[in-house]
Amino acid sequence: MSAFIINTADGLIYKEFLDALIKGDRLRCSAISNELLEKKATVQDVYEDLIRNALYDIGELWEQGKISVATEHMASAIAEALINEFYINVISGQKINKTVVVGCVENEHHQIGIKMVSDVFELNGWNAHFLGANTPTRELIQFINEIQPDMVALSLSLYFNLPYLEKMLQAIREEFPELFILVGGQAFRHGGKEVLNAYRNISYQPDLKSVELFIKKINSNG
């Protein structure tokens, strides 16, 4: 967690947010998020230190059998609704002449993390084309041909979907040998980063803050 949230009543705000998320209290989750923004937290702070951490904790609770699948799905739906609420803050920045295509690999249905990545690109001036969950490889290749982006960003949340990522990377490289690819997602906590070493112009970034630093470096280099 960032210093901003940790220093707010020693993390009590985070605990209150997590509890409200588990209980399905969308109004309280929204109020907490907006209170942080009013206290000068950035959208990136709220995404990384509040929503992302809470979803990771909820995922672990589900894996331990402490909450149901229904509760996990409800929490994810609330988190995605909150992200949609913040979009007015995302689109207000000045745009630069850079474009990214953002999506999940084929058979991957967890899109919240990559949606936050898409917003971080937009907050840093990029034009982001968000394709969402379960992006078929063939359609991705076709869309890249149409848009001609500067970069593609892909998310992998479940480790057993790693073969789909490899298939997608191979297809992108065959069609676009030099196109830069950004990869991340919760799946890589269990390994798999070595797969990326077989491809040129690819970067793994573990979290939203590292993604933002990466984007800022590209922006400063032109």
Q: What is the pLDDT of residue 88?
A: 85
Q: What is the pLDDT of residue 164?
A: 94
- Count of domains forming the chain: 2
Please, are residues 106 and 133 in contact by the beta-carbon 8 Å criterion? no
CATH at 205: 3.40.50.280
Structural domain including 182 reads 99-220
Could you tell me if 72 and 171 lie in one domain?
no
Across the chain, which has 222 residues, the per-10-residue mean pLDDT values are 46 90 96 91 91 90 93 95 90 86 93 94 95 94 97 92 94 96 89 88 93 93 75
Q: What is the pLDDT of residue 92?
A: 66
The residue type found at 185 is: G
Q: What is the pLDDT of residue 35?
A: 92
Could you tell me if 86 and 26 lie in one domain?
yes
Q: What is the pLDDT of residue 3?
A: 47
Could you tell me if 140 and 189 lie in one domain?
yes
**In this structure, what DSSP letter does residue 93 have?**
S
CATH at 46: 1.10.1240.10
User: What is the side-by-side strand order in the sheet with 127-132?
Assistant: 127-132, 99-104, 151-155, 180-184, 202-204
Could you tell me if 54 and 80 lie in one domain?
yes
Could you tell me if 111 and 63 lie in one domain?
no
Q: What is the pLDDT of residue 216?
A: 94
Could you tell me if 13 and 104 lie in one domain?
no
Nearest to 165 by CA among 155, 173, 174, 151: 155
Q: What is the pLDDT of residue 87?
A: 87
Domain endpoint, select from 90, 117, 137: 90
Q: What is the pLDDT of residue 71?
A: 96
Could you tell me if 35 and 64 lie in one domain?
yes
Cα–Cα distance between 183 and 45 in angstroms, integer? 21
Could you tell me if 213 and 129 lie in one domain?
yes
Q: What is the pLDDT of residue 10?
A: 47
Could you tell me if 114 and 209 lie in one domain?
yes
